[in-house]
Structure 1
């Protein structure tokens, strides 16, 4: 009898010990399970890739009409500022960029096919054009391309005769661009004129010319006088009108390089 009781006690102790181990194992397993469901930290985007995406901002359009609607106001602003017909700027943009959908434009935001040229310190992209692997300017956004187009035409003496034409003479401007060497295609003027007349781009010139403010601004883009605006310097003005700082100072009897907003400067 005593042997039987002792055996039962031993079996009871063994069962209790196994149960305790089982509970401990279950508790440990449960703890691991909770840890496995913790949400992982997101993977950080590499800095260089983030910067590239943040800086380069092309504008995607689906048709020539959409291109015109988007860029016409910008071309008109450039016309008021520099005296280049909006119709010419838009026609060149359409032709040179394939209405914003050309391979080069999508890679560079270059809407006017402007090559690097000596002294260019901005972005660059190599692309096959008249010759293999030519260097083209690259911009962060299309607006910079439009402004650089205006500066390109106003800062080079070979384009100076264009600014003696009437601002609404888009045919004269188209022929003058080809004559000055903007493009090698002998049919370049006809292509620009065809685009202007097909899409009635001349109406954007008319809108600027009919506006009293636009007429006043255009008057000041001539070669005779310039009204100083915020951000202007004698150097930037001299580049715009293809002259020198010393010539501006002599023409306006300036003793220093200081100029004020609203001041009228004689160019010639």
Structure 2
């Protein structure tokens, strides 16, 4: 019996000793938080990398993109924005339309040349001399002039009192010189032929001159003013050519007509003889101050 009791006490003691061992494990547990503290130190580095992103200069690009700029090089180098060109078109489109009606030069060509030659009105010659088409003095010019560097140093350029005089002189310049006569054989709606024809006739020496004119016409939809004068939405060059030839054939001399369209080679004297009029009477009927005529100009003869 005594042996049994002793054995029982021994087992109880062993069990009690084993139950105290987990207390040693719990003492080691606080070591783990030390590694977690190391991780928290790295967090500020991650936050600093994200704050660098707003330094990208995207807003600057947007501000620059609001206005497109381009350099126009003719008799001077001029930097303009697209809204300057749009303003120029708005200001002079009515003059261009009027010149197309009176002289037969496409309004799109007039405006494109004005933009290119004058730097959209901001070029040196346009500001100092109201010269919007880069027309030099040439033989016979008796008006005012200015000196300006171009192909050579200090060349003579025409000076006008206002831009409208420059637009009119441009029309007279093209209609009054034989080397530009072939231009008036082209359809008035064929601005590409006119652009290439101007270069071929020697208006400019720049081989890219036609491409520049065509670019302005198409970018700013300048041919809409040609269509406005021609009273069409759009017709092909071939169809338009036929229509114009038909119209021209109807303008043959007839004493019963009330008006006459000036043809190549006409003068006030020759027209007055055809219609049994005096030159002075013909000038009076048409409010003409001089003897200048242009191809396509319509005159009252009755």
- Which TM-score bucket, shorter chain as reference? 0.5 to 0.7
Q: 2:275·2:301 contact (CA, 8 Å) conserved in 1?
A: no
Normalising by structure 2, what TM-score? 0.56
Q: 1:59-107 CA distances to partner (integer Å, 9 max, x unpaired)? A: xx97111101111111001111111100000000000000000012100
| Aligned counterparts of 1:223 and 1:194: Cα–Cα separation in 2 | 35
Q: Are 1:172 and 2:209 counterparts? A: no
Q: 2:109·2:217 contact (CA, 8 Å) conserved in 1?
A: yes
| Aligned counterparts of 1:70 and 1:124: Cα–Cα separation in 2 | 25
**1:111-150 residue pairs with structure 2 within 5 A?**
111-150=132-171
CA shift in 2, pair 1:117/1:224, >3 Å: farther
Q: 1:150-170 CA distances to partner (integer Å, 9 max, x unpaired)? A: 011111111111111111110
SS class of match (1:63): helix
Q: CA deviation at 1:241?
A: 4.2
RMSD value, Cα: 3.0
Q: CA deviation at 1:134?
A: 0.4
| Aligned counterparts of 2:300 and 2:220: Cα–Cα separation in 1 | 39
| Aligned counterparts of 1:90 and 1:245: Cα–Cα separation in 2 | 29
Q: 1:155·1:241 contact (CA, 8 Å) conserved in 2?
A: no
Runs of 4 or more, structure 1, over 3 Å off, are: 222-229, 240-250, 253-256, 260-265
Q: 1:87-146 CA distances to partner (integer Å, 9 max, x unpaired)? A: 000000000000000012100000000000111011100000011010000001000000
Tell me which residue corresponds to 2:119.
98
CA shift in 2, pair 1:108/1:244, >3 Å: same
The count of aligned residue pairs is 189
Q: 2:251·2:260 contact (CA, 8 Å) conserved in 1?
A: no
| Aligned counterparts of 2:130 and 2:265: Cα–Cα separation in 1 | 27
| Aligned counterparts of 1:186 and 1:108: Cα–Cα separation in 2 | 26
| Aligned counterparts of 1:242 and 1:157: Cα–Cα separation in 2 | 10
* Structure whose CA Rg is larger: 2
Q: CA deviation at 1:255?
A: 6.6
| Aligned counterparts of 2:252 and 2:173: Cα–Cα separation in 1 | 20
CA shift in 2, pair 1:66/1:130, >3 Å: same
Structure 2: 5+ residue runs without aligned partners?
1-80, 233-242, 287-298
CA shift in 2, pair 1:255/1:116, >3 Å: same
**1:73-84 residue pairs with structure 2 within 5 A?**
73-84=94-105
CA shift in 2, pair 1:244/1:107, >3 Å: same
| Aligned counterparts of 1:87 and 1:243: Cα–Cα separation in 2 | 26
Structure 1: 5+ residue runs without aligned partners?
1-60, 230-236
Q: CA deviation at 1:189?
A: 0.7
Q: 1:111·1:142 contact (CA, 8 Å) conserved in 2?
A: yes
